C-alpha cells in the first residue's frame, strides 16, 4: 500500500491509527460518482456512502452529509436535523474551493474522516440498512469498506432521515 497517492495514504494512515482493519483500495477507473464506485467495487449503489459538503448558514461552518448513493439529499431535512444539534437553520452547497479548503480533499474523493476543519456530520439513516458500505478515501479512485456503526463512531455523526421524499408519496 505504499503506492497509494498522497491523499489516499493520509486516509489509510488515519484508518490504521483508528484501528480500522480494512485497507484503502484504489481502482484504475474513477469512483468519483456513486454509480462509478459501485461498478468498480461490485456492490450496490445504495452501499456507497457519498460525501457531500455544505456550508452552515449562518457561520459558513463545513457540514458533511454522508448519504446513501441512491438518495438525493433534502437540504431542508438536513437543516432540520442540524437545528436541534447546533442551532443551524439553513445550509447551502459549498463550492469546490470551500470543499478543498475545509476538508483538504477535492470533490469526488472526500472521505468521511481526516478533514482540515472538523465538520458537523449528518449521516443518512438509510446507510444503516447495510452490513457493509464503502466510502471515498481521498482521491477520485480510492475507497475503503466499513460498517455503518464504524462510520457513526469514526465521524461522531448524527444519524437522520435526510433523503428527499418521493414526489409520488
DSSP for 129-158, written as a single string: G-S-EEEE-SSTTEEEEE-HHHHHHHHTPE
Report, as ranges of residue numbers, the positions in the chain whose pLDDT lies below 70: 1-2, 88, 167-169
Domains of the chain: 6-160 (3.90.960.10)
d(CA 138, CA 34): 15
User: pLDDT tens digits for 98-139?
Assistant: 999 999 999 999 999 999 999 999 999 999 999 999 999 999
What is the pLDDT of the chain when averaged over all its residues?
93
Sign of CA dihedral 106, 111, 115, 121: positive
Amino acid at each position: 500500500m505504499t503506492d497509494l497517492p498522497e491523499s489516499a495514504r493520509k486516509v489509510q494512515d488515519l484508518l490504521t491509527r483508528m484501528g480500522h482493519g480494512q485497507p484503502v483500495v484504489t481502482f484504475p477507473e474513477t469512483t468519483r460518482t456513486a454509480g462509478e464506485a459501485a461498478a468498480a467495487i461490485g456492490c450496490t449503489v445504495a452501499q456507497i456512502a457519498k460525501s457531500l459538503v455544505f456550508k452552515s448558514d449562518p457561520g459558513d461552518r463545513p457540514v458533511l452529509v454522508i448519504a446513501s448513493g441512491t438518495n438525493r439529499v433534502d437540504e431542508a431535512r438536513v437543516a432540520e436535523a442540524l437545528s436541534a444539534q447546533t442551532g443551524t437553520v439553513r445550509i447551502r452547497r459549498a463550492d469546490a474551493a470551500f470543499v478543498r479548503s475545509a476538508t483538504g480533499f477535492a470533490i469526488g474523493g472526500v472521505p468521511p474522516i481526516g478533514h482540515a476543519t472538523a465538520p458537523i456530520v449528518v449521516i443518512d439513516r438509510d446507510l444503516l440498512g447495510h452490513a457493509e458500505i464503502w466510502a471515498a478515501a481521498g482521491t477520485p479512485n480510492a475507497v475503503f469498506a466499513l460498517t455503518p456503526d464504524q462510520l457513526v463512531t469514526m465521524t461522531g455523526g448524527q444519524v437522520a432521515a435526510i433523503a428527499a421524499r418521493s414526489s409520488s408519496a
